[in-house]
Amino acid sequence: MAGRLAGRTALVTGAAQGIGAAIARAMAEEGARLIVTDVALGRLEPAAAAIGAQALRLDVAMEEDWLAAAAQISAGPGTLDILVNNAGIELVKPCADTSLAEWRRVMAVNLDGIFLGCRTLLPLLSNRREGSASVINISSIAGIVGYPNQAAYNVSKAGVRHLSKSLAIEWAHDGLPIRVNSIHPGCIRTPMLEEAVEVWVASGAIGAGTDPWAAVAAMCPMRRVGRVEDVAMGAVYLASDEAAFVTGSELVIDGGWVAQ
């Protein structure tokens, strides 16, 4: 079904690697014009070039960066059809050892960044003659159930879940042509998860001598670790006309993890 997003402009944050890069690739393959952003411009530019996307350095926690992105879109396409708020960081640390600065940094990137993006780009998302724009916020199954030693991450992702629902209802109530949904990945093999697995091994959460990826896969009913493409195709669906009546929902892509 190539061409599901033909003629649409999409902005994806945190697109230098992992889930963000996979979403950008999948949307480009479906015909979307991509603006990809990340704080790591050196890693972002090759990924952007590979799919013919515009690369833009954007720190999602900085309001001025969002304003600059909005200005570029206004001067170019003049409207935005798809916003994927994917950028995020993780902190694996007991609550007792988490500093206030660390807590605030996780919230600034994972939650404030989505608030800033949605608020700043609202005029561009609502500037359309037909159809609806789609905002897709990447949360986590950690925003639905709790996990030890990552309270800041869990809470930030729960905030993403509820912010998505709140905006979906608010904008529908106001008659704005914007759908808002959240995606909740489980264990997807990304650089972020690889770092987390290293911490789990070092802390003894995964036993010494055990294949760590086999251990992670064994916790999933489908007995495998997710691929970034699994999440990317969910994002394509939510961005497409196939999801024209879908807003305020949460799409869990976790191989059955939270259903246990």
State the Cα–Cα distance between residues 175 and 177, nearest whole angstrom.
Answer: 6
Question: 149 forms bridges with which residues in the sheet?
Answer: none
Residue 215: the pLDDT is 86
pLDDT digits (tens, 9 = 90+) for 163-201: 999 999 999 999 999 999 999 999 999 988 888 788 777
Domain ranges across the chain = 9-188+227-259
State the Cα–Cα distance between residues 206 and 190, nearest whole angstrom.
Answer: 18
Q: Name residue 14's amino acid.
A: G
Look up 237 and say whether it is catalytic.
no
Which residues are CB-contacts of 175 (< 8 A; sequence separation ≥ 6)?
Answer: none
Which residues are CB-contacts of 83 (< 8 A; sequence separation ≥ 6)?
Answer: 10, 11, 117, 118, 121, 125, 133, 134, 135, 136
Choose the CATH number for 9-188+227-259 among 3.40.605.10, 3.30.160.150, 3.30.930.10, 3.40.50.720: 3.40.50.720
Tokens 């990945």 locate to 185
pTM exceeds 0.75, yes or no: yes
Q: Which of 66, 153, 171, 257 is catalytic?
A: 153
Judged by DSSP in three states, 236 sits in helix
pLDDT digits (tens, 9 = 90+) for 198-237: 877 777 777 777 888 888 888 899 999 999 999 999 999 9
Residue 32: the pLDDT is 98
